[in-house]
Amino acid sequence: MKFRVLTFALLAGVSTPTLVLAQSAGEPQKPAHDSRSQSGLTAAPTDFGRVDIYGNGTAQPAPDGVNRQDLGGGYMIEEEAVKTRSTVTRDAIAKMSPTANPYQMINLLPGVVITSTDNSGLNGGNIRIRGYNSDQLGLTIEGMPVNDSGNYALYPQEYVDSENIEQISIAQGSPDLDSPHIGASGGVINIYMRDPSKTAGGFVDFSYGMHSTAREFARAETGQIGDFRGYVSYSHYTENHWSGPGSNERQHVDFKGVWEPSQGNRIGLSVIFNDALNNFYQNPTLGSYNTLGARSVGYNNALPLSYFVAPAGSPPGAWDRSANQASLYYKWRINPFRNLIVSAPSTFTISKDVTYDVIPYFWYGYGNGGGATSVTENATATGNSFYYGRFNIGAADWNNNGVVTKNDKGMYYNPSITETLRPGLINKFTFDLGDHKLMLGYWFEYANHRQTAPYAFLNADGSVADPYIDSGAIAIPGVGTPEFRNLLTQTVTNTGFVSDAWSLLDDKLTIESGVKVSSIHRSVYNFLPGVTPLNTQSDLVALPQAGFRYKFWDYHQIFGSVGTSFRSTPNFALADTVNTSSGAYTPANRLAPEKAVTVELGHRYQSPLFATSVSLYGSHYENHQISTNIFLPNSGSSVSTTINAGAVDLWGVAAEIGTRPIYNFRPYLSANYLQTRILDNLSTSGATPAGAPISSINDFLPTKGKHLPNSPTWTGALGVDYDDGHILGNLAAKVTSRQYSTFMNDESISPYARIDAMVGYRFDDIAFGKKPELRVNLYNITNTHSLTGANSVKNNASPTVGVYGNVVSASAPTYYVGQGFSATATFSMGF
């Protein structure tokens, strides 16, 4: 049923341009360069001044969008913002393997640290920018937000196919005023899709590589039809895991249509559909990795024998399906997900001095992170209990056979399912008042976020019958449908923003100032029995920003900004939780939102030959929200919750340099130095009630003065691109210093470096084929095996004496293991 609903929505979205955008106009004009144009999310991407040096010759872009002129091989553009911003263009994106996800595309930019389990990018990973984690960053596609509406997580493997991405830019400091985010206390990542071509035709590529990697992509362009043009593309991608059993499969559709009835008036429509079924990799502890190496990443290839054999002394017919390591069976560790992203970024010229930008959007997602768990029926309701909410149903008849047998164990598919429906609307008016540009805007969103976790029978051979559990969830007579989570989160966001860009000294000096006011009301309905049925939280916050940019001499400019940002409390912090094994209960932990202040001061040099950017930055944020395990008094157990870890300071220096073509070479170099400090000690119990006695489960870890986990002090990157129109090649190297994996800084991973490369050849047109191209992308060419980052950050990895003298027990962090060498060959061609 879910698939039919989603398929209908996809077809309706794709057919809309035919019905609504039945006219068409000429090729869209790039916005004229205007330093006072506050290029927020509703603005078109820009790329100023493509200049050719040393007689390399200019040419029309290749069918994949490569123009051979962009700075640093596509890792820089000329920038005019009052804050630090870095951009990757098609010149770089088109030369990566088509399997790359957006995280991998921006890996070389200053301040960026990515971690992933596979080179292909199909299993996602994590990203940090200047010490801010992925769930503290905002991400938009075509102007609309795509973070998880509940906990702000990102899933880069679900987004646009690489062939359809025109640019990816990152604002490393604070979000722009019109950034539609309530969870971005750090910076933002903006993805822009390429515009349709005015010439009918298309583009195809085929990629094959190690570990049975196979990917096919095809895009068809309508060309200019009256005032309309558009394209639709389809890709299919499969691969086997590089360690252990398992595979990934992804089917993806992108559509973009543009209707331009007149100059300055444009209606766009973008539709992105993704359907994927992946197996997870393991994230081992340091001890497991040191023992097993790369093998620690793989799950079990087969069920243990004891899954099929009754344990000794069991009654006749008893079937033990909860043997050791049964939960590590790879067929249970799956991630099925479907999502639909629709946005219509449009611009209307009301008069010569007034423009109106609007982005209506809709996000739908349905899927889960699959797993399996054991449940023990117990006729005496003692021994292994099982809790549904706060009620023990360990003696319930799970098998629905009318018989409850003591210690009758069963293994059940038990995924964590999420379904999201998220409509929104962003509006912005821009008034040109001569020396001033005034912007007034409003953003509204109503997000419905349904999270459930039912149980379902497995097939006789242990396989999963329905990864989505569209039907087949177990219902127990007299109990209902047990779940370990059953939430509905409704989030209503109302945000207004106003800003002014003031131009002085013949446009040499620009001063920007503004403020955003956000009202967020979040209702979390919890349908588990015995818990608080509804928790609400409302936030009202004003976020001012100011900045300047001053041009001097021919190619120099200095810039500076002060920006504020915030992150509303994640939804899971507003829900009571119950441990299904012990019944341990912890109430919702209402937290104040994160609030941050970021200051930047920098210099840019932008000449016909090369460009540089250097910035000094500093941030202070309070109410750092972290997910952790806390110990429960009188229970002897712990539960996962979100706590306020206090304040954090960070500061550093970021730099990048890129050249135009110099004898067909375009090098790029970036570096980032980062210092972080935790300013408070970390509570081991989430909160300390007034007058409560100090104990081993109610103490503080001495984290004050420690470094923030997953925040390396040094990162550096080098990219070198060569393209003479036929011979292609590039090299991309990234060095990352040591990273801590606990707040106590008592466990860390070593520095590591990775080098990727590409070689290829672009042919002249052959018959109907335009610029056929053959290239090979090589990942981790030194075959370095290393941990690349912490997947699960912990408080302390070793028993630690707390502030009040109690020994705080340890918990082992888990890690991403970087893949060794791999290669992918791609053939592409326009037509």
d(CA 259, CA 620): 44
Determine the structural domain holding residue 670 and report its residue range: 2-280+333-371+414-453+485-830
Higher confidence at residue 711 or residue 697? Answer: 711
d(CA 821, CA 779): 6
Q: Is pLDDT at 313 greater than 90 in this prediction?
A: no
The CATH number for 666's domain is: 2.40.170.20
Cβ 597 vs Cβ 649: under 8 Å: no
What is the per-residue pLDDT for 564?
95
- 409 belongs to a structural domain: no
Higher confidence at residue 310 or residue 556? Answer: 556
DSSP 8-state symbol, 425:
E
Q: Is pLDDT at 688 greater than 70 in this prediction?
A: no
DSSP 8-state symbol, 205:
E
Using pLDDT thresholds of 50, 70 and 90, give the confidence band for residue 638: very low
Which tokens go with 830?
């326009």
d(CA 520, CA 594): 14
For range 686-696, the mean pLDDT: 44
d(CA 521, CA 418): 20
- 441 belongs to a structural domain: yes
DSSP 8-state symbol, 473:
B
DSSP 8-state symbol, 307:
G
Checking DSSP bridges between strand 188-193 and strand 138-141, what pairing results, if any? Answer: parallel
What is the per-residue pLDDT for 22?
29
Cβ 682 vs Cβ 625: under 8 Å: no
- 3-class SS string, 22-80: CCECCCCCCCCCCCCCCCCCCCCCCCCCCCCCCCCCCCCCCCCCCCCCCHHHCCCCCCC
DSSP 658-692: EE--BTTEEEEEEEEEEEEEE-SPEESSS---TTP
d(CA 653, CA 601): 10
d(CA 210, CA 780): 13
- 384 belongs to a structural domain: no
pLDDT digits (tens, 9 = 90+) for 612-627: 999 999 999 998 887 6
Q: How many helices (H) and strands (E) does the chain have?
A: 4, 48
In this structure, which amino acid lies at residue 113? V
Q: Is pLDDT at 431 greater than 80 in this prediction?
A: yes
- Phi-psi group of 789: left, alpha or beta (phi > 0 → left; psi -120 to 50 → alpha; rest → beta): left
Count of structural domains, the chain: 1
Cβ 681 vs Cβ 698: under 8 Å: no
Using pLDDT thresholds of 50, 70 and 90, give the confidence band for residue 641: low
- 3-class SS string, 696-742: CCECEECCCCCCCCCCCCEEEEEEEEEECCCEEEEEEEEEECCEECE
Using pLDDT thresholds of 50, 70 and 90, give the confidence band for residue 23: very low
pLDDT digits (tens, 9 = 90+) for 442-460: 999 999 999 999 999 888 7
First to last CA, the chain: 38
Using pLDDT thresholds of 50, 70 and 90, give the confidence band for residue 180: very high
d(CA 285, CA 797): 10
**Contact residues for 692 (Cβ-Cβ < 8 A; gap 6+):** 698
Query: How crowded is the C-beta side of 491, counted as CA atoms within 13 Å?
Result: 31
- 385 belongs to a structural domain: no
For range 2-22, the mean pLDDT: 36
Q: Is pLDDT at 583 greater than 60 in this prediction?
A: yes
What is the model's pTM? Answer: 0.89
Alpha helices (H) along 348-505: none
Q: What mean pLDDT, rounded, does the chain reach?
A: 85
Distances (CA, A) of 326 to 128, 287, 427: 33, 21, 52
For range 324-329, the mean pLDDT: 58
- 3-class SS string, 762-784: ECCCECCEEEEEEEEEEECCCCC
In this structure, which amino acid lies at residue 106? I
Q: Is pLDDT at 317 greater than 50 in this prediction?
A: no
Q: Is pLDDT at 148 greater than 50 in this prediction?
A: yes
d(CA 195, CA 221): 10
Cβ 372 vs Cβ 484: under 8 Å: no
Lowest model confidence (mean pLDDT) among 219-228, 308-317, 602-611: 308-317
Question: How many CB atoms lie under 10 A from the CB of residue 316?
Answer: 6
d(CA 248, CA 211): 11
- 321 belongs to a structural domain: no
- 302 belongs to a structural domain: no
- 58 belongs to a structural domain: yes
d(CA 658, CA 70): 9
